[in-house]
Structure 1
Amino acid sequence: MFSKQQQKYVQSLQIKKYRQEHKAFLVEGAKSVLELIDSDFQIELLLCTSKFFEENEKKLKKISVEQISQTELEKTSTLQSNDSAVAVVKMNPNVPLQAASAEFVLVLDDIRDPGNLGTILRIADWYGIKKVVCSDTTVDFYNPKVIAASMGSFTRIQTYYVNLKEYFETVTKESGGTIIGTFLNSDNLHEFRFPAGGYIVMGNESNGIGEVVEQFITNKVTIPRFGGAESLNVGIATAIVLDNLMRKK
């Protein structure tokens, strides 16, 4: 039986404080849960409807599963509509990441909106970026809205949260390399010649890349504007930069 204590625990993971305390987070919905099962994340508990269990029984053999009613599932889920499953998952350790030879790492400076972060993870996954470094002020990777917006891509992306000033000081000292950042009135992205590897920095939704991080940027690029819009959503801007990168590689 699904106890009130279990329900309280699962619901608590919607809040960052308790996610950090328990080192656990939620993955919700059929698509994300099925991709989760094929990943290296450790599933602590899977709550699902009998229909989801019957449809995926072979995949669920090695997982602790609790079949619950649709009503109980809705009480534990943050999604407006979830008729399949919610997984309680152990967080992966926050392991340092750097660009390997001929590899690009995406760096996010103070991204605040969970939907934007989830979308950026999905975009990075689409373009084959495996590593995303986040400032310690960037929204929590394990926020349920981030996980949902990533549409399963969170299972294929490594993330590392760190103070970016200290991070780039170490990177510059140890390996140097190209650090590309998006700014207004800089070099035209369409004409920029990407190196074999390095770092691509995307900034805050309202203020862009902060001054502390700007000092480490070796190449400033601009997405050329042809119309009258003042700005681009950071997710869309990330997609444009990565598309240009991959087409030129």
Structure 2
Amino acid sequence: MLSKAQIKYIQSLQHKKYRQKSGQFIAEGDKIVPELLSEGVPVQEVYATTSWISAHEQLLNNVRVTAVDEAVLKQISALTTPNQAMALLNIPEPTPAVLKGVVTIALETIQDPGNLGTIIRIADWFGIKQVICSPDCVDAYNPKTIQATMGSIARVRVIESEIIPLLQEVPSYAATLHGTNIVEFKKIEEGIILIGNESRGLSDQVIAACTYRITIPRLGGAESLNAGIAAGIICGRLLI
């Protein structure tokens, strides 16, 4: 069982300032927790129902496990409908981006945790190993972000960095409404794909520093695309 102090601590990790202070975050979900474990991500502790623990015994070797009932899971969960398992993990130590010879997604001022999590999942789908976030993006370790990655956070590094200094190293592709049609580009094997804020897009400074401005051709009347959808379409065109 968990003590009141432990419950309070886990609850505090729903807030960015406490995640930053402790260097820890939570991931919850009947799919996400097993994926983290199977990928060998260092999990500090798992909180789960006894039935979930019994069904995943092989994954739980050498992992600290605490059995909790559904009422306690509801207390510590950041979700409206709690799952059967939650993991406590350390936030990875910052590492520099490796840009040469790979494709990277860079995000400027993304504010919706669901969008960020979806883009991390898209990166994983297309074999992109790192996503760079400007310092004013939503926190990558927000519980809603982690949930939206559907386990892809286990395979994609998220790096916080100023973006403009990185754009001198490899070709860069800024997603804008007034650029070159993406169908005119060949498959890329190196470079940075840039996606901007949900309502404002990329800043003028970032666009000016990029090698190319790219646009998804619009055939209908929609004003704009969701950031995650745009990232998926661009990756599908430039990487396949």
User: How far off is 1:79 after superposition?
Assistant: 1.6
Aligned match of 2:77: 77
Instruction: Say whether residues 1:155 and 2:147 are aligned partners.
Output: no
In 2: Cα distance, 1:184 partner to 1:83 partner: 40
AA of the residue aligned to 1:164: I
Aligned match of 2:142: 143
Gaps of 5+ in 1: none
Aligned match of 2:38: 38
Question: Does the residue aligned with 1:183 lie in a helix, a strand or coil?
Answer: strand
Gaps of 5+ in 2: none
**How many residue pairs get matched?**
240
AA of the residue aligned to 1:142: Y
| Alpha-carbon contact 1:46-1:86 (below 8 Å) kept | yes
Aligned match of 1:246: 239
| Alpha-carbon contact 1:49-1:83 (below 8 Å) kept | no
TM value normalised by structure 1: 0.93
Question: Does the residue aligned with 1:187 lie in a helix, a strand or coil?
Answer: strand
Aligned match of 2:213: 220
AA of the residue aligned to 1:217: C
AA of the residue aligned to 2:29: G
TM value normalised by structure 2: 0.96
User: How far off is 1:28 after superposition?
Assistant: 0.4
Aligned match of 1:184: 177
| Alpha-carbon contact 1:41-1:91 (below 8 Å) kept | no
In 2: Cα distance, 1:194 partner to 1:70 partner: 48
User: How far off is 1:45 after superposition?
Assistant: 1.5
User: How far off is 1:194 after superposition?
Assistant: 4.1
AA of the residue aligned to 2:162: N
1:58-207 correspondence to structure 2 within 5 Å? 58-101=58-101, 103-168=102-167, 172=168, 176-207=169-200
After superposition, the C-alpha distances for 1:18-54 in whole angstroms (9 at most, x for unaligned) are: 0001100000011000011123432122111000011
In 2: Cα distance, 1:196 partner to 1:83 partner: 39
Percent identity over paired residues = 39
User: How far off is 1:196 after superposition?
Assistant: 3.1
Aligned match of 1:20: 20
